[in-house]
Amino acid sequence: MRRLILLLLCLPVWCAQADEPDMLLYGQARFAALTERPLEVLTLLENDHTGATHIDNDFHNEDHVLAIEASLRLGLADQAIELADHLLFTARKESHKSKARLLKARALAQQKRFDELVRWLEKSLSHLKGDMRDEAWFLVGRGYTETKRLADAARALSRISKGSIWAAYGYYNLALKYAQDDPDPSRAWVALRVAAALAGDTREGQALRDRALTVAGNLALEVQDPEKAAQFVKAVRADAMEAPSAIYLYGMSEAQAGRLRTAVRTWHRAKKYALYMPGVAETFQSIAWAYVQENLKGSAIDAYLEAISVYEKEQQQTRQLLDELRQKGFLELVRAARAEQKSTDWFLNTELVNNTPRVMFVNALMTDAGFFGQVTELLQIRDMASSLEANRRKLAILEDAYRRASGGSTRQAVNKIDRLEQRLGQLIARRNDLVGAYKEALAANDFARIGSESLLKARKRLDAVVAELKRLKGVLPGPTYRELSRRAIRLRGRLVWEDMAGMDESRQSFADRIKVLDGLIASMRDSISRLRERARNGRVHFAERMQQIQRMRARADATGDRLQRVLKTMDQAMTTEAINRLEQHLDRMARFHVRSQLALVNLYDALAVAEYAPERVRENQR
Amino acid sequence: MRFILVLLAMLLSTVTHAEPSLQAQAAQLKQEVVELNREIYELEESLLFPADTQLVVYVAMDSDAPFELDGVELTVDETPVTSYLYSDRELQALKQGGIQRLYMGNVAAGPHTIVAVFNGRGQGNRYMRKAARLRIDKGADAKYIELRVRSSGRSAAVPDFVVRDMK
């Protein structure tokens, strides 16, 4: 963490003007952030590979903002707070400082440190403007709501600008607290009405309004105010997640008002939804009950038979799901549900009718805020484990490739150096032979061997001439032969004279040549020695790299194993929780099933009695 | 006294055996994974793409570029090296200032030709396929190239496709 701050802050003093690398780094991190890859954001921003940023640099501050947001997305609230404090300290622009203040508040809220959150925002709010200010007031409201200071929460929420969805969220949360704590639902209704009115027409706003209206309707029914309940729930959209609950509640309000036919007609609309959705299972019984109340016993029997069949089917499907959960765990169930629902916002999919029981169960779980938080954490850990696993594979490939490459190239280099050294040895041997022969000739006064090359050639030519002369001895006239012989002897004498005269020069020249040769040999020896050193260093370099890779592999393996253990433990906990919920659902279905069967038996009894009674009367009359 | 000692011993054993909560373990592990990822990323880059041969190609878009980018094909010295198809979310990220690292590879020092082919839809949802070319001279340092789609200076309805050496 400190390293991230240091990298973001200190590295780059020397490249303050390097705008393009900064822009590239920021742009890449922004791309990763906007495509929902917070882990990549942090990887990039802890990396100075494309250049670095500088304290007095807008990109640096924006990088910080991205890093804080990514940390929050990954549930690393401590890191987010540390980064936000750092940004507050270093940023010069008020816009960056404001973002840091708000992001720190979000991190405190994520950690549920509500008292600190309120204190922090009380001193920061004057610096915030626009939507950031609205969100800050919402967070203050949340802080007060969670610490049960509901009047203060209401005051905070009243400061949010008109038309901001933050106000709607705030009033919704407040209403839930009022509903929990106060038996009189008036204040909760007011808050829910305000939330619904402020929610706006965005997809998010509409979903919030549906939720608020359903809660308000439920509260109204609890205090036996069917007209008010109907008023609320009939405004819920047909494709909302809350639609089945709203339909059930609307039917209930009609029934409470004595309009049973309308209630039945309403309830029929809820039959298409999955039984895990609140209100759907009740709907089947309610229809049958309403027929009984209307004295339509035949219809009631049909309705109970249908209910029994639906509950049986639901129990069977729930048992299958339970088996799947017990065998594969919750994570696998979520994965399968995700695969079935191809939409990106899979848990927001409101295709309530066509979804499978698995998808419906997972979707229903996700509407529970506590469960949603745990699943998010579980999925984050799972994604991190996958990313680490991919990196482990990369490291294995790298290690393998490096081992092969380093082994091959080092062997080649060593062989080459050996061959060079062999040739150098041969050269030195020849040089030594030459020097030895020279010394020998010098000791034997063999000037001819030491003499210059031209004299040596002349001597050879003279030897050839003398040999030719000897061959022609009988052919040439005597005086000519003698004359030529004398001239040959004179020439030889001249050559000896020349040899002796050039002796010093020739000796010096030989010594110079040997010196040059020795210089060359020494330089070659140095080169070979340097090559050997380099090869040795290369081996060291490769070895260091290999060690680096291996160290990293070991760390990745250890972290991966720990991650898997934590993942398994979390998955087990979630599996247990999901099993509990499914078992509760199964029990509920079993109870509905039994109740429906009993009701059916009672109905048949009543029918039988009704048929039997007139017969008895007739019999008695006879 | 003995009771107090036993109590203390029990307390100590509780303290020494107390493991951090699962949440704390998860947070610590997440932090470690972030750090490890970064180090592996750096190592991989330095081993596979050393600066003296490194070539990196980025894709960017101006927010007002009149073009819906479907995909990019990239060739270096007439060899196709990569191609990429963009999702809606990625396209929006590009239009909001995000920069995508499209390709990272190795090339020898010397002259090279880079050709980027942009596929997508222009004004009136009309399909367009445009190529942009750049000759670069690779030196001893890493080479960064930017492929950018922007609105043309001639007409706001016509996109410009630029391949730029970032030096």
* 3-state secondary structure string across A496-507: HHHHHHCHHHHH
**A-chain residues near B101 (CB < 8 A):** 28
* Lowest-confidence pick of A186-200, A351-365, A448-462, B112-126: A351-365
CA angle A265, A268, A273 (to 5 degrees): 150
Which amino acid type is present at position B130? K
CA nearest neighbour of A53 among A100, A14, A80, A3: A14
Order of strands across the sheet with B79-85? B79-85, B68-76, B110-121, B127-138
pLDDT at position A584 is 92
pLDDT at position A47 is 53
* Dist CA A83 CA A41 (whole Å): 14
Q: Among A4, A24, A39, pick the best mutation site for testing chain B contact (most B Cβ within 10 A).
A: A24
Provide φ and ψ at B37, rounded to 5°. -55, -45
CA nearest neighbour of B36 among A557, A561, A570: A557
Across the interface, of A377, A398, A563, the residue whose CB is closest to B47 is: A398
> In the structure, what pLDDT confidence band is assigned to residue A423 with cuts at 50, 70 and 90?
confident
pLDDT at position A518 is 86
Mean pLDDT of chain A: 85
Residue A428: pLDDT above 70? yes
CA angle A349, A351, A355 (to 5 degrees): 100
- pLDDT, one tens digit per residue, over A136-146 is 999 999 999 99
Q: What percentage of chain B's residues is helix, strand, coil (to nearest 5)?
A: 30, 45, 25
Question: Per the domain annotation, does A523 fall within a domain?
Answer: yes
Alpha helices (H) in A165-279, listed in sequence order: 165-181, 186-198, 203-222, 226-233, 243-256, 260-268
- pLDDT, one tens digit per residue, over A565-602 is 999 999 999 999 999 999 999 999 999 999 999 999 99
pLDDT at position A174 is 94
Distances (CA, A) of A317 to A311, A313, A360, A582: 10, 6, 12, 11
Q: Among B21, B25, B28, B36, pick the best mutation site for testing chain A contact (most A Cβ within 10 A).
A: B36
CA nearest neighbour of A130 among A100, A90, A168, A95: A95
Question: In this complex, do B29 and A562 lie within 8 Å of one another by their Cβ atoms?
Answer: yes
**What 3-state class would DSSP assign to A356?**
coil
Question: In this complex, do B44 and A548 lie within 8 Å of one another by their Cβ atoms?
Answer: no
- pLDDT, one tens digit per residue, over A206-239 is 999 999 999 999 999 999 899 999 999 999 998 8
A31 touches chain B (CB under 8 A): yes
Stretches where chain B sits below pLDDT 50 are 1-17
pLDDT at position A407 is 65
**A-chain residues near B27 (CB < 8 A):** 75-76, 78
pLDDT at position A175 is 94
**What 3-state class would DSSP assign to B151?**
strand
* Lowest-confidence pick of A259-273, A411-425, B79-93: A411-425
Q: For A28-52, what is the mean pLDDT?
A: 80
Across the interface, of A30, A39, A381, the residue whose CB is closest to B34 is: A39
Q: Which of residues 459-488 of A touch B (CB under 8 A)?
A: none
* A154 Cβ contact partners less than 8 Å away, ≥ 6 residues apart: A141, A174, A191
pLDDT at position B88 is 94
Neighbouring C-beta atoms of residue B69, cutoff 10 Å: 23
* Dist CA A159 CA A102 (whole Å): 16
**What 3-state class would DSSP assign to A83?**
helix
Question: Per the domain annotation, does A103 fall within a domain?
Answer: no
Taking CA atoms, what residue in B is nearest to A402? Answer: B47
Among A327-336, A380-389, A537-546, B128-137, the range with the most confident prediction by mean pLDDT is B128-137
pLDDT at position A3 is 53
Whose tokens are 């253990």? That residue is A565
pLDDT at position B20 is 66
CA nearest neighbour of A57 among A17, A104, A85: A17
Count up the domains in chain A and report the number.
Answer: 1
**What 3-state class would DSSP assign to B80?**
strand
Among A374-378, A535-539, A607-611, B99-103, the range with the most confident prediction by mean pLDDT is B99-103
A20 touches chain B (CB under 8 A): yes
pLDDT at position B8 is 41
Could you tell me what percent of chain A has a pLDDT over 90?
42
Using DSSP bridges, classify how beta strands B100-106 and B143-151 pair: parallel, antiparallel or unpaired.
unpaired
Provide φ and ψ at A10, rounded to 5°. -95, -35
Alpha carbon dihedral B49, A386, A30, B104, in 10-degree steps, equals 20
Residue A57: pLDDT above 80? no
Question: In this complex, do A552 and B37 lie within 8 Å of one another by their Cβ atoms?
Answer: no
Structural domains in chain B? 2-47 (no CATH), 51-165 (2.60.40)
Contact predicate A58/A28, CB 8 Å: no
Distances (CA, A) of A389 to A467, A538, A561: 91, 30, 10
- pLDDT, one tens digit per residue, over A489-498 is 888 888 877 7
Taking CA atoms, what residue in B is nearest to A555? Answer: B36
Residue A96: pLDDT above 70? yes
Question: Per the domain annotation, does A233 fall within a domain?
Answer: no
* Dist CA B155 CA B60 (whole Å): 20
* B35 Cβ contact partners less than 8 Å away, ≥ 6 residues apart: A3, A46
> In the structure, what pLDDT confidence band is assigned to residue A402 with cuts at 50, 70 and 90?
confident
Q: For A420-435, what is the mean pLDDT?
A: 85
pLDDT at position A4 is 53
Taking CA atoms, what residue in B is nearest to A560? Answer: B33
Question: Per the domain annotation, does A393 fall within a domain?
Answer: yes
Question: Per the domain annotation, does A150 fall within a domain?
Answer: no
**A-chain residues near B25 (CB < 8 A):** 562, 566
pLDDT at position A441 is 77
Contact predicate B127/B106, CB 8 Å: no
Residue A411: pLDDT above 80? no
pLDDT at position B77 is 95
Question: Per the domain annotation, does A66 fall within a domain?
Answer: no
Could you tell me what percent of chain A has a pLDDT over 70?
91
Q: Among B21, B22, B29, pick the best mutation site for testing chain A contact (most A Cβ within 10 A).
A: B29
A427 or A263, which is more confident? A263
Question: Per the domain annotation, does A613 fall within a domain?
Answer: no
CA nearest neighbour of A35 among A344, A363, A334: A344
| Segments forming the whole domain that contains residue A563 | 384-567
Tokens of A376: 């998010």
Q: Quote the minimal CA–CA distance from A132 to chain B in Å.
A: 20
Neighbouring C-beta atoms of residue A312, cutoff 10 Å: 14
Taking CA atoms, what residue in A is nearest to B90? Answer: A35
Report the first-to-last Cα separation within chain B, whole angstroms: 78
* Dist CA A416 CA A436 (whole Å): 31
Q: Among B28, B33, B61, B143, pick the best mutation site for testing chain A contact (most A Cβ within 10 A).
A: B33
pLDDT at position A154 is 92
Among A52-61, A94-103, A397-406, the range with the most confident prediction by mean pLDDT is A94-103
**A-chain residues near B94 (CB < 8 A):** 31
Residue A52: pLDDT above 60? no
Question: Per the domain annotation, does A415 fall within a domain?
Answer: yes
Provide φ and ψ at B71, rounded to 5°. -165, 165
pLDDT at position A517 is 83
Tokens of A34: 């906007």
Across the interface, of A1, A47, A559, the residue whose CB is closest to B41 is: A47
